[in-house]
Every structure is written in C-alpha cells, then in structure tokens.
Amino acid sequence: MMRQLIPIALSLLLPAFAQAGPQQLLEQAQQAYANGDHKHALALYDSVNNQYTSAGLLYNIGNCHSKMNDVPHAILYYERALRLAPGAEDIQANLDLQRAKVVDRVNQLPAFTLGSVWGRLQGGKDVDQWARRSLWACAFMAVAAALAILLRQRILKRVLFGTAALALLLTLFSAGLAAYRVQEVERRSEAIIMTPSVEILGEPRKGSTRLFILHQGTKVKLLKEQDEWQEVRLSSGSVGWLPREAIEVI
C-alpha cells in the first residue's frame, strides 16, 4: 500500500517545483505594472497564462488591458477570472468599471436572487475551494469516527459519532459543489464581442436580415454553431447569428 502512495505523494509536490519559473515571470510582471509599463507586464502575464491559470492571474491580465484602454479584452479576462472565482470583490469592481464603457446598454433581466447567493457562497474563492473543503471534511470525518470507535466513554462516543455523521454530510455536499463548479467552469457558454461593431443577422448567411448591431465588450450567450457562424443570445433575450471571429469565448 505504501509503495503505491509514494508516487502519488510526489505528484502532489511536483507543481510546487514546476512553479519556480512562472513565479519569477510574475514578479517581473508585477514590477513592470508598478512602473506603469503595462504592455510589458501584459506580455509577461500572457506568457505565464500559456500554461497556467488562476483567478488572480486572469484578473491581473484584465488590469493590464484596462490600463491600455482595451475594454473588450479587459472585460473578457475579468469575466474569465470571475468564472474561476465568483463573487471576488476586486474582480467585480473592475469589471463594473469597464462595463460602464461598453456602448451597448442591453436591458439586463434582473439577476435571479439565487445567483447572488451562489456568488456569496463562493466568496471569491477559487474553483478548487470546494474540492479542498471536501478533502478536509472527509479527513475530519474519518478521525472523528475512528475516535468514536476507539473511545469507551459513552457520551464521548455519541458526540463523536454525531460529529462524524455531520462531517460526512459536509463531505458529500462539498464534493457535489466541487463537481458542479468544475462542470460550470468547463462549460464555456458565454462570449464577449471583440470587434468594434458587429451586425447580428437573422440567419447564418451573409446578407441576411440585419436584426441589430452590437459593439465591443457586450456579453452574449452561445447557442448553436454552424460553419463560421455562431448563434447568440443577449441578456435581453434577443437571438441572432454572428460570425465567430467577432467573439471570444469567456
């Protein structure tokens, strides 16, 4: 049993070694950003982003784009960061600032209250936090149950068994949320308009009826795809087709 565990334990440590390189790049990028050289900072962050990701990294990239007045890219990266860490206050604040610069004022359906509760439940933490929580809860459950078995005193036994049962529930709950979050992160069902303006057509065909025009920075939901065309839905509910190169998936 131990022999099988050793390689797994090593694989746990490996990412820590592998991060020595990117950590240096991050420090340089932070320095460049502090000096106001946002372009250089962006290049460094982007090179890290080729292999790695995290809410903090995406947020910093969004900040570089903001400073260079590239509103659609800033929004894109803030949205990506928020997807990894819903409810993060700093990301939300900067996203709101950039959204104020978007031309299109789409009538937003009022956010479902559960959505904000969900965001608060995440508390701006990373996608892995529920997985981590479930691991802790699982370990705690095992310890409590083992103590309950080993100890003799009746009252202690009962309390520990109750605790273990609660910990088991928490484990299952956290694992369920973790699974849901991973699925949510991987879904990639939204996109940001990147071209200054794009016509939304009624059909996936050049020259079909123009329904409306959207401008850079507006968020759309992705529906069907066909060849070079993408069907999208606005938060107001309108649906239409646009060329896929006009958008970038969050």
Partner 1 sequence: MKNFILAIASFLVTGFMAHAQEVTFQASVDRNQFATGENIKLTITLENASASGGITTPDMGGLVVVQGPMESSNFSSINGRMSRSSSKIWYLTATQPGTFVIGASTARVGGGVMQTDPITIKVTKGASSGGTSAATDQAQKRDANLFCTISLSKDKAYVGEQIIATYTLYSRYNSLQPRDYDLPKLSGFWAEEVDLGSTNWEPALRTVNGLQYRVAVLKKQVLIPLRSGKLTVAPMTLNYLVNPGFFSSGTPVRIQSNTSEVTVVELPPGKPADFIGAVGDLRMDVKTGGTTVKANEAIDLSIRFTGRSNLKLIDAPKLGLPPDFETYDPKISDKITVNGSGMSGTREFQYLLIPRHEGSYELGSLTFSYFDPSSSSYKQLRSEPLTFNVQPGDARSSASAGGPSRMEVQRLGSDIRYIRTGDLALRRQGTHLFGSPIYIVGMVVPPALLLLVFLWHRRREQRLGDQSGQRRRGADKVAKRRLAEAEAALQKEDRSAFHDAVGKALEGYFADKFNLGVSEVNAEMIQTKLGGMDDGRIAKEYIALIREAEMARFAPVESKPQRQTYDEAVAILSRIENQLRR
Residue 83 binds to partner 1 (criterion: CB under 8 A):
no
Is there a contact between 236 and 107 (Cβ–Cβ < 8 Å)?
A: yes
Q: Which is nearer to partner 1, 104 or 126 (CB)?
A: 126
Q: Residue from 43, 68, 106, 143 that binds partner 1 (CB under 8 A)? A: 143
Contact 182, 193 (CB under 8 A): no
Q: Is 30 in the site for partner 1 (CB under 8 A)?
A: yes
Site for partner 1 in 220-249 (CB under 8 A): none
CA distance 198 to 193: 8
When the beta carbons of 134 and 216 are compared against partner 1, the nearer one is 134
**Residue entry with tokens 């993408």:** 230
Sign of the Cα torsion 225, 58, 88, 90 reads: negative
CA distance 219 to 217: 6
Q: Of residues 48, 200, 220, 246, which one binds partner 1 by CB under 8 A?
A: 48
Using the rule CB under 8 A, which residue among 43, 135, 166, 194 binds partner 1? Answer: 135
Segment holding 49, helix H or strand E: helix 38-49
60 versus 216: smaller Cβ distance to partner 1:
60
Residues 6+ apart with CB under 8 A from 69: none
Give the footprint of partner 1 on this chain (CB under 8 A).
5, 8, 11-12, 15, 19, 22, 26, 30, 33, 48, 50-57, 59-60, 63-64, 66-67, 90, 93-94, 97-98, 126-128, 130-132, 134-135, 138-139, 141-143, 145-146, 149-150, 171, 175, 178-179, 181-182, 185
